[in-house]
């Protein structure tokens, strides 16, 4: 009988190494996505199409992500996390090169779909590789390493994309993925533990469930993305979103008939996981509004060019990076309930402060608000992700990770959609006409801050002891003092 290699057992040394490798992949994917958004006008001129037409390249990528994320767990169980992760990185790099050499819009969209499919495997399977080799007591550190790319890349992405599109060519946005991908695959194949394929017990695949999930999630993501574009009818976007939600509800009941569904809703029985899925999604929406609304405010409201806007927003990245080592200490010293409520309050407060920034506000004050906002956003994002997996049994990590990856992708789209909806609403209230004014952005950020404050009530359901299994150093110290 075949035995599982001992190196698959969680250990601290493997955990840190694998976390850093996966962080490279996450950074590459997020940098690519946000850089493309900035370069869309330049790319549109290159293809000889209008900006609205080229936005299909962004939409197609998001839809491909939504379609293929739910089967990432099944594929990882079937072929092993190392094989799937490394193959996904290779496919992502190949698709990136094809995007860079595309000559027409149709070619570009097709390559973006391929890139999205690869990204759908790369992100959740990469995190699963980390979860499989990470002991519970080291989860705080591991999650801190793999969450920073999701916060840093959207900040420097517009700056990188704007610089390359202005001073080089937009093609280099995709060619940058080549060295990053090579490094990631080389290290991943060497350090991520290999899993031995079993002769039996491989998960079955329900094609109808896959189509149901794909249609539901694609409909939701298309509708959410459409909301961020002013030229799209709002009612049509809502129809796609609500249609997708209805299909997801139907799929929830259908999946009960399956022994191993692609999206296993039973993992919601873990209380801390359930709270991070529902309340945590609202917090992630508030966090994800900033990369969308703040640069837009700097440009449309303050009259700055994309490069100046990107330079100001870089202060948020500095706050993210500064907070990472503090995050690990804070989550080991204080319980998750206190951290999420207090830090969530500070996230909402600094979102409110952003609302009252003006073109005449001294640059030092703007930078300070961006820096502190980045700090607290980073802490909240890490705390939510760590708590999500803290109390999940090791045997349930694959379905928990697949479900969480799906929800995380949806909440990112919801955050941008929320910002777009509030901005449209503010424009109507202020009767701003075609363009957006500083007053529009002020009201939008106030509404986002209100959502942030209201979300704190969801964390009141947590117990002070929830997630203590990953705060082992603090727990052990308390035990020693009591003895």
Q: Is the pLDDT of residue 69 over 70?
A: yes
Residue 328 to residue 139: CA distance in whole angstroms: 10
Average pLDDT over residues 90-114: 93
Q: Is the pLDDT of residue 349 over 90?
A: yes
What pLDDT digit, counting tens, does each position of 130-151 carry?
A: 888 888 878 888 888 887 776 6
Q: Which pLDDT belongs to residue 233?
A: 79
What pLDDT digit, counting tens, does each position of 172-231 carry?
A: 989 999 999 999 999 999 888 887 554 445 667 778 888 888 898 888 888 877 776 666
373-407 per-residue burial string, b: 16 or more CB within 10 A, e: under 16: bbbbbbbbbbbbbbbbbbbbeeebbbbbbbbbbbb
94-108, 373-387, 429-443, range with the lowest pLDDT: 429-443
Q: Which pLDDT belongs to residue 224?
A: 78
Check: CB of residue 291 under 8 Å from CB of residue 155: yes
Q: Which pLDDT belongs to residue 152?
A: 76
Check: CB of residue 287 under 8 Å from CB of residue 319: no
Q: Which residues contact 393 (CB under 8 A, 6 or more apart)?
A: none
331-335, 408-412, 463-467, range with the lowest pLDDT: 408-412
Check: CB of residue 323 under 8 Å from CB of residue 379: yes
Residue 444 to residue 357: CA distance in whole angstroms: 13
pLDDT-derived band at 346, boundaries 50, 70, 90: very high
Average pLDDT over residues 248-272: 86
Across all residues in the chain, what is the average pLDDT?
Answer: 84
Average pLDDT over residues 154-183: 85
What pLDDT digit, counting tens, does each position of 280-331 carry?
A: 999 999 998 888 888 888 888 888 876 777 788 888 888 888 887 888 889 8
Long-range contacts from 16-21, C-beta under 8 angstroms, 24+ separation: 16/138, 16/141, 16/142, 16/145, 17/191, 18/129, 18/130, 18/133, 18/134, 18/191, 18/192, 19/130, 19/134, 19/141, 19/142, 19/145, 19/146, 20/145, 21/184, 21/187, 21/188, 21/191, 21/192
pLDDT-derived band at 357, boundaries 50, 70, 90: very high
Q: Which pLDDT belongs to residue 477?
A: 41
Residue 211, classified by CB atoms within 10 Å of its CB into exposed (0-12), middle (13-18) or buried (19+), is exposed
Residue 150 to residue 26: CA distance in whole angstroms: 7
96-110, 156-170, 241-255, 393-407, range with the lowest pLDDT: 156-170
Distance of CA 184 to the CA centre of its chain: 19
pLDDT-derived band at 56, boundaries 50, 70, 90: confident
Angle, helices 472-482/306-333, rounded to nearest 10 degrees: 30
**DSSP assignment string, 247-314:** HHHHHHHHHTT-SS-SS-GGGGGSHHHHHHHHHHHHHHHHHHHHHHHHHHIIIIIT---HHHHHHHHH
Q: What percent of the chain has pLDDT over 70?
A: 91
Give φ, ψ of 305 to 5 degrees. Answer: -85, 165
Q: What is the DSSP letter of 48?
A: T
Residue 147 to residue 26: CA distance in whole angstroms: 8
Residue 128 to residue 47: CA distance in whole angstroms: 38
Residue 285 to residue 198: CA distance in whole angstroms: 40
Q: How far is CA 341 from CA 113, 180, 324, 456, in A?
A: 39, 37, 18, 6
Return the sign of the alpha-carbon dihedral for residues 190, 192, 198, 203: negative
**DSSP assignment string, 424-479:** HHHHHHHT-TTS--HHHHHHHHHHHHHHHHHHHHHHTTS-TTTTGGG-HHHHHHHH
pLDDT-derived band at 264, boundaries 50, 70, 90: confident
Cβ neighbours of 204 (radius 10 Å): 9
Residue 38 to residue 191: CA distance in whole angstroms: 35
Cβ neighbours of 233 (radius 10 Å): 9
pLDDT-derived band at 470, boundaries 50, 70, 90: confident
Average pLDDT over residues 65-90: 89
What is the enclosing helix (H) or strand (E) of 394? none
Q: Is the pLDDT of residue 250 over 60?
A: yes
pLDDT-derived band at 335, boundaries 50, 70, 90: very high
């Amino acid at each position: 009988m075949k035995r599982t290699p001992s190196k698959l057992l969680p250990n601290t040394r493997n955990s840190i190494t694998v976390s850093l490798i996966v962080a490279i992949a996450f950074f590459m994917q997020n940098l690519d996505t946000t850089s493309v958004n900035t370069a869309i006008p330049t790319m549109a001129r290159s293809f000889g199409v209008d900006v609205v037409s080229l936005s299909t390249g962004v939409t197609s990528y998001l839809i491909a992500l939504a379609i293929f994320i739910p089967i990432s767990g099944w594929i990882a169980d079937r072929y092993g996390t190392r094989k799937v992760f490394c193959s996904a990185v290779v496919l992502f790099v190949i698709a990136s090169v094809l995007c860079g050499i595309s000559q027409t819009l149709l070619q570009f969209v097709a390559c973006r779909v391929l890139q999205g499919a690869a990204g759908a495997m790369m992100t959740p399977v990469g995190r699963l590789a980390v979860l499989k080799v990470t002991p519970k007591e080291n989860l705080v550190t591991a999650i801190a390493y793999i969450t920073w790319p999701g916060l840093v890349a959207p900040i420097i992405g517009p700056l990188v994309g704007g610089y390359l599109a202005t001073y080089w060519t937009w093609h280099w946005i995709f060619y940058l993925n080549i060295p990053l991908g090579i490094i990631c695959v080389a290290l991943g194949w060497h350090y991520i533990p290999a899993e031995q394929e079993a002769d039996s017990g491989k998960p079955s695949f329900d094609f109808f469930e896959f189509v149901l999930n794909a249609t539901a999630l694609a409909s939701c993501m298309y509708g959410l993305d459409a909301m961020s574009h002013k030229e799209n009818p709002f009612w049509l976007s809502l129809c796609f979103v609500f249609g997708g939600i209805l299909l997801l509800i139907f799929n929830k009941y259908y999946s009960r008939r399956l022994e191993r569904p692609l999206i296993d809703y039973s993992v919601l029985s873990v209380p801390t996981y359930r709270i991070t899925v529902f309340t945590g999604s609202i917090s992630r929406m508030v966090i994800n509004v900033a990369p969308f609304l703040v640069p837009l405010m700097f440009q449309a409201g303050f009259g700055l060019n994309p490069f100046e806007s990107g330079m100001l927003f870089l202060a948020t990245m500095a706050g993210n990076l500064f907070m990472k080592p503090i995050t690990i200490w804070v989550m080991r010293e204080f319980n998750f309930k206190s951290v999420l409520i207090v830090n969530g309050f500070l996230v909402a407060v600094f979102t409110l402060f952003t609302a009252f920034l003006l073109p005449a506000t001294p640059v030092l004050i703007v930078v300070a608000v961006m820096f502190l906002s980045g700090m607290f956003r980073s802490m909240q994002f890490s705390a939510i992700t760590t708590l999500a997996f803290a109390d999940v049994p090791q045997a349930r990590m694959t379905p928990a990770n697949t479900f969480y990856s799906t929800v995380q992708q949806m909440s990112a789209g919801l955050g941008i959609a929320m910002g777009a909806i509030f901005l449209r609403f503010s424009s109507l209230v202020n009767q701003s006409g075609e363009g957006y004014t500083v007053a529009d952005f002020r009201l939008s950020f106030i509404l986002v801050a209100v959502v942030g404050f209201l979300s704190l009530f969801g964390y009141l359901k947590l117990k002070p002891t929830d997630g203590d299994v990953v705060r082992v150093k603090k727990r052990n110290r308390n035990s020693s003092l009591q003895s």
